[in-house]
Amino acid sequence: MSRRVLFACALLVVFACGSTPIEQQLLTQFFRAARVRDNTTLAGMSAVTFDPRTEGSVEDFKIDSIGAPQNRKLQVQEFTEEQDKIRSDQVEFTKKMRDFYQSNSLTIDRVMKADQAGQPVRGKDAELLAEWKKWDTDSRDLERKLSQARQKVAKEKSFAVASLTPPGRDDVDVTGMDVDIVSEPVTVTAQVQTPDGKTTPKTMVVTLQRASGKKDGQTLEGRWIITSIQPQGGAATPQTN
């Protein structure tokens, strides 16, 4: 059995039997693993890191407050429809761009070579060059939007799967499942030892999320995953993939 599976099983037992709040237990495990750069353990409980080489090590912490849980529906279907719309727009745009090029290919090739060589392009040639460059810019913009849409779908789906899949099991199929995402902000004050050896208190807001799925009359409760660590009033630690 892998180290990650053993950790996850032990963590579930502790959560089920212990009297310590689950938030305290989860954050204790997280900061301990982060301190020794135990990436295997971190991957099983968090989508973010707290790198001791850059952010320091949490030696101790206390929970100041736990915010009210917030619910939202999983948006894989909506994000997929958004992705499909962008892909459809890109196909139509590419066809029009190809038609424009084929109608002006000789001139486009000539003025592009002149522009790349640093030679002056004037008059109608300059107008055509500017138009072609706009086609190219818009094409790249659509490609960027499509890539972002794909990442959005993948990220939304992967979180739900990670939360709902029991340790050591095959990934849960969320297709056709009614999934709620529960978010809970936890404010902590931590004693952080910085990379230069100094210890200073830092207040952070840690966001915990879990998925809850329903399908064919059955309910599946997911586990909590840390999805954000934000210095109070500051920018969030970027989520890793």
Same domain for 110 and 35: no
Residue 238 in any domain: the answer is no
Residue 37 zone, left/alpha/beta (φ > 0; ψ -120 to 50; rest): left
How much is the pLDDT for 25? Answer: 95
How much is the pLDDT for 17? Answer: 47
d(CA 24, CA 170): 28
Same domain for 122 and 98: yes
Residues 69-74 have a mean pLDDT of 96
User: For a pLDDT cut of 90, what percent of the chain falls above it?
Assistant: 81
**pLDDT per residue as tens digits for the range 58-68:** 999 999 999 99
Res. 187: pLDDT tops 80: yes
**pLDDT per residue as tens digits for the range 73-88:** 999 999 999 999 999 9
Residue 166 in any domain: the answer is no
Structural domain that includes position 101 = 76-160
Same domain for 189 and 136: no
Same domain for 102 and 46: no
Res. 8: pLDDT tops 60: no
Q: What is the distance, to the nearest Å, from the Cα of residue 47 to the centroid of all Cα atoms in its chain?
A: 8
Residue 62 in any domain: the answer is yes
Out of 14-23, 47-56, 124-133, least confident range: 14-23
**What's the whole-number average pLDDT of the chain?**
90
Residue 12 in any domain: the answer is yes
Q: How many domains does the chain have?
A: 2
Question: Which domain-ending residue is among 127, 160, 193?
Answer: 160
Res. 5: pLDDT tops 90: no
How much is the pLDDT for 175? Answer: 87
SS3 213: strand
Question: Which domain-ending residue is among 136, 160, 184?
Answer: 160
How much is the pLDDT for 228? Answer: 95
Same domain for 65 and 55: yes
Question: Which domain-ending residue is among 101, 134, 160?
Answer: 160
> What residues have CB less than 8 Å from 40, skipping those under 6 apart?
3, 4, 7
Question: Quick one: tokens of 93?
Answer: 């745009």
What band does 20 get if pLDDT is binned at 50, 70 and 90?
A: confident
Residue 140 in any domain: the answer is yes
Same domain for 131 and 89: yes
CATH number for the domain spanning 12: value is 3.10.450
**pLDDT per residue as tens digits for the range 27-43:** 999 999 999 999 999 98
How much is the pLDDT for 241? Answer: 44
SS3 70: strand
